[in-house]
Amino acid sequence: MSSAFITIVVPTLNEQAHIIGTLEELAESSSGFDCEIIVADGGSTDGTRSLVRDFAERHREVVSIRLIDNPKRLQSAAVNLAANAADRRATILLRADAHCSYPPGFVQKVVAAMEENDCKSVVVPMFTVGEEGTYQASVALAQNSKLGNGGASHRDGGTPSGYVEHGHHAAFDIEFFKSLGGYDESFKTNEDAEYDARVAAAGGRIWMAREAEINYYPRRSPMSLMKQYFGYGRGRCATILKHRMRPRPRQMAPLAIFLTMASSLILSPVCGYSILPLFGYAALCLLYAARITAASGSGGSALSVASALMIMHNAWGAGFIAGLVDWMIGVRKRKAA
């Protein structure tokens, strides 16, 4: 067992449905370690805070759990707050999101990966799961598919452990994290990929621990999914522009889809044939959704899966455009100053 002291941070905002399960898994997984759990709450109004307090009181002899306020209500701010509020003995900062479930031995696996490999961060794969018979299950099928995730290494079940450029954040060398200024809190989303870019620039390496795969619970409605992916696209654009990165084809595909679909709709009153790309795209998504739905054996609706795919693509693309607009407005303001 490692002798490291570990600070686990759980950012929360109205996580009543998941927080107890998350804390139970983390408390069990961290057994035998010197550690603490910090729940950084963004002002929950659904009972999350009282659930955390009650759990902390019942398990005070098992693990130290602290509840702190996160006035900025952002995950990036929550992790930064925990890094600064961590016990002075802490050498590893472990991030655990309440919208996930963690396998037995998760903390041990992540800590071992951090200590056994020459890295400054550990990331883990994630598999999306949803409640059967709900739209959430359709979103899960879409997000687990190549057409939904673009083949990202931390969402591709066949990618082995090894050094990567990016993945779902799990643990950091806390001193290295703080030396880089932690997360950039101007990022409402994509703060993880932006941090990874700075890790690489500083000469740090990132290790993906395949053995510590987690389950992620996605959004439950089309509107919340749209809002989430709009933010993803906007955040990715900000990261690319901040670090002058060359975007990958899989990142630009949703932008191309959105621009093509928007053009198809705008031009359709003038030229009827311009609507054909939209129909073709919808048909492709529906056929693909039918195939993965049948393969899953879930008996779910291919139409719902197709709608999730189209929302994810187009909301991401629209968010990327919004990010470009944000950047241009910022350039103008700087020139005018």
- pLDDT for 209-266, tens place per residue? 999 999 999 999 999 999 999 999 999 999 999 999 988 888 899 999 999 999 999 9
pTM over cut 0.85: yes
Residue 159 DSSP label: P
Amino acid in position 202 = A
pLDDT at 66: 96
Rounded distance, CA 249 to CA 264, Å?
A: 22
In DSSP terms, 100 is beta-bridged to: 216
**DSSP-H helix ranges across the chain:** 19-29, 48-58, 75-85, 106-116, 135-144, 146-149, 174-179, 191-201, 222-243, 249-267, 276-296, 302-336
Tokens 């509840």 — which residue?
A: 67
Query: In the chain, pLDDT over 90 holds for what percent of residues?
Result: 83
**Cβ–Cβ < 8 Å for 65, 10:** no
Within 13 Å and on the Cβ side, how many CA atoms surround 117? 23
Q: Confidence class of residue 272 from pLDDT cuts 50, 70 and 90?
A: confident
Domains of the chain: 5-219 (3.90.550.10), 227-336 (no CATH)
Region 275-285: mean pLDDT is 95
Sign of CA dihedral 315, 318, 322, 327: positive
- For the cut 70, the answer to whether the pLDDT of residue 59 exceeds it is yes
- For the cut 90, the answer to whether the pLDDT of residue 299 exceeds it is no
Q: Confidence class of residue 3 from pLDDT cuts 50, 70 and 90?
A: confident
Which residues, at least 6 apart from 35, have a Cβ–Cβ distance to it below 8 Å?
5, 6, 7, 8, 63, 64, 107
- For the cut 90, the answer to whether the pLDDT of residue 153 exceeds it is no
- For the cut 80, the answer to whether the pLDDT of residue 207 exceeds it is yes
Tokens of 186: 């101007």
Rounded distance, CA 324 to CA 335, Å?
A: 17
**Cβ–Cβ < 8 Å for 174, 86:** yes
User: How far is C-alpha 93 from the chain's CA centre?
Assistant: 17
